[in-house]
Structure 1
């Protein structure tokens, strides 16, 4: 079977930067804290059954195709200690490691998204409990192959209208050029942007404006970036949209995300940015590699805080101790901006890039402008 839109785009990124998406650090990771000891044999059996139930956990990406292995490719690993990040080979895209009262799940990002991470842990806990009690567990509602086929059909059905819309929003809208290229050092760092009190005030204003955090943050980011980009009408960002927009996709394992763009009006007000975001999401199922996206458009992503309260492995409760996306291996090129609220209700940003247009000092000035706009 052919790769999905997300997988195709990730392979394209890897072609540009070998090892970025095919490498073993391109992973989704979670560590659970257990309040008791798990039965190793029951956990191993549950993990084996989990892989048998979901084709995507036995899927290898080879030459732009999804190849499904007939048998599970991974076994439970009993180790002395677990870390948040772990290498996961693309040929065996899932790892489960147990060290005392800590359980770590690692999924290759080519076959998983954040929802997959949480849903996998939830089903693992259910299967473990069933191993102990003998209870039956209903089969999955769908496989990732079903999602991929449906996605391909939607792309073809919407191709004409999507092409026209992106032509209007990008090619005809005079995108703003990025800052000129210059020699500079690559960078990657995290920074707190808003305290919990400041974030609460921004959230309240967002509700009053009948908007969303994504729209509010995009409008503020545009205000922070505008002084440093060239003349034009539109700021263009690469991004990802979650597309679990049918009941059967809500719990399917696999990356139900679409690489797309956010094309927002320069200095646009909240209403204009909101209208642009709604349209971008509506027409997101379009092969982004075919769109006339300006080169080196920054990547932007808002990641809501959605840690679950925990999981019950029979009588053992597991709480989330740590979560992480792909490990920074220094292979990113364009400016990447990821904003997320933390568990203590502050707003944190992760910024990375090769520094040749958006330098670290310039990004710091953008952040200052973003804060000023949010708190004004």
Structure 2
């Protein structure tokens, strides 16, 4: 044995010391980065007592629970995801995949009970910060999979039956006191063609969560079908977020952000769009979906303008939407809502749950300024909303007490949002030579959807093309009205992208049909 073998090679020892030093440095940098992120978000995730049975809801969940209790038997907060399954389906692998996801994410086994019932059945103390809550979350240890199978393959009317099944799913409400708050329909159209319909209540999910579910379902199914181990990283539980949110949002934090919203919303008035019919006591959640694909050249122009102005595609299209609302309403003070994603730390990226907060966007329209200037104004409004977006919308309403009317939401009846499910990554087909899974483009086939507002506008970014969808209350608007509004929106976008330096009053949104209708109206008057 030589000397190097006896005492160890000095070069090897030196390399090991350098490696250890580098690893310690990297670990320290990661800790510093995490500490910095925690200081910005204020969220602290801690170990949870395994004995605690009744747990707090997030502020968003609590708001939806109160809405459900005030309007029982409604399906306005159902969300549907449709998957096309082509090829030889391994049912056992599919069931195992759902069983794994249900066990992996506690929120898929969670229901909600009123406090009196919770306290009566539990001798343990509840969280001190939650003593005033009226509802608690309960996580079921074991939960039967909510999967039903339907076979339309022998019917000569399979696709119409599929449409009926989709609509039935959309219209069937959940009982929030009974877990799980999701259900799955596996529909056979032929031996090699199935549809998987996942219906989830918004109280346990959001658009981003749908993408997480889709990605993990695909990964688990592939592994089980191949007889391999499912490799998914550990995940934070949604209830840990709810606890951290409750602890972070102290009265001091809430009041600081409330001061901004109190000034921002002073003397704000509801957007009053011209409607085909007015509100009535029976106005419900029933909506109709209409959409347009934004032409490829225009999509590219919107992206180019966004880059030039140092903003996002979302803000650019939002600015055009606010201008559309100005043109239709005649108001210069435009107030709409948008859901703000609150996944502020890396730990929250793979969490399934309700991680959005509705915020109010208030924009002043000055007709003589350029679209470029208007875009900068919208960008600032959006950044300010992000900076003050921790304040729960329900808390804001309770504290500011805006004027409210029956069947009308506080502050806004129009929403503009980006559909986080519409992602090129999520819509990439998962396939091999025998089987493929793909998210059905545009969501479900049905054009009838629930809506809690007059109009919900959704921007979808498919990687190359953009598209826009309006979900509107059919008791208030005719389809022809919304068709014209969508066409006007596309023309307004094209006009703004072509000449952003022009005053916004000069941007055109009228087509020949609208001009003809206006001329007729002017002639009659």
Q: Same fold (TM over 0.5)?
A: yes
| Bigger Cα Rg | 2
Any gaps of 5 or more consecutive residues in structure 1?
none
Change (3 A) 1:151 1:230: farther
List aligned pairs for 1:1-376, cutoff 5 A.
1-14=55-68, 17-20=71-74, 23=75, 26-38=78-90, 40-63=91-114, 64-81=135-152, 86=169, 87=172, 89-90=174-175, 91=178, 92-98=180-186, 99=188, 100=191, 101-104=193-196, 105-131=198-224, 132-135=226-229, 137-138=231-232, 140-156=234-250, 158-171=253-266, 174-179=267-272, 184=277, 188-192=288-292, 194-229=294-329, 234-267=333-366, 269-291=374-396, 292=400, 295-303=411-419, 305-306=422-423, 307-311=426-430, 316-322=435-441, 324=443, 328=448, 332-341=452-461, 345-353=465-473, 367=486, 370-376=489-495
Counterpart secondary structure, 1:332: coil
Change (3 A) 1:17 1:276: same
Displacement, 1:323? 5.4
1:84 and 1:324 in contact (8 A); partners too: no
2:360 and 2:411 in contact (8 A); partners too: no
Distance of 1:363 and 1:323 partners within structure 2: 18
Counterpart secondary structure, 2:249: helix
1:337 and 1:350 in contact (8 A); partners too: yes
2:430 and 2:436 in contact (8 A); partners too: yes
Displacement, 1:219? 1.3
Distance of 1:19 and 1:50 partners within structure 2: 27
Distance of 2:64 and 2:82 partners within structure 1: 21
Counterpart secondary structure, 2:81: strand
Displacement, 1:34? 3.1
1:220 and 1:371 in contact (8 A); partners too: no
- Provide the alpha-carbon RMSD of the alignment: 3.5
1:214 and 1:302 in contact (8 A); partners too: yes
Any gaps of 5 or more consecutive residues in structure 2?
1-54, 115-134, 153-161, 367-372, 403-409, 496-525
| Structure that is richer in helix per residue | 2
Q: How many equivalent pairs are there?
A: 369
Cα distance per residue 1:162-212 (max 9 Å; x no partner): 1111112112xx434432887716763403263233222222222222211
TM-score (norm 2): 0.61
Change (3 A) 1:94 1:88: farther
Displacement, 1:240? 0.8
Counterpart secondary structure, 1:44: helix
Change (3 A) 1:117 1:323: farther
Distance of 2:211 and 2:63 partners within structure 1: 23
Displacement, 1:71? 0.7
2:87 and 2:434 in contact (8 A); partners too: no
Distance of 2:453 and 2:76 partners within structure 1: 19
Displacement, 1:72? 1.9
TM-score (norm 1): 0.82
Displacement, 1:138? 4.8
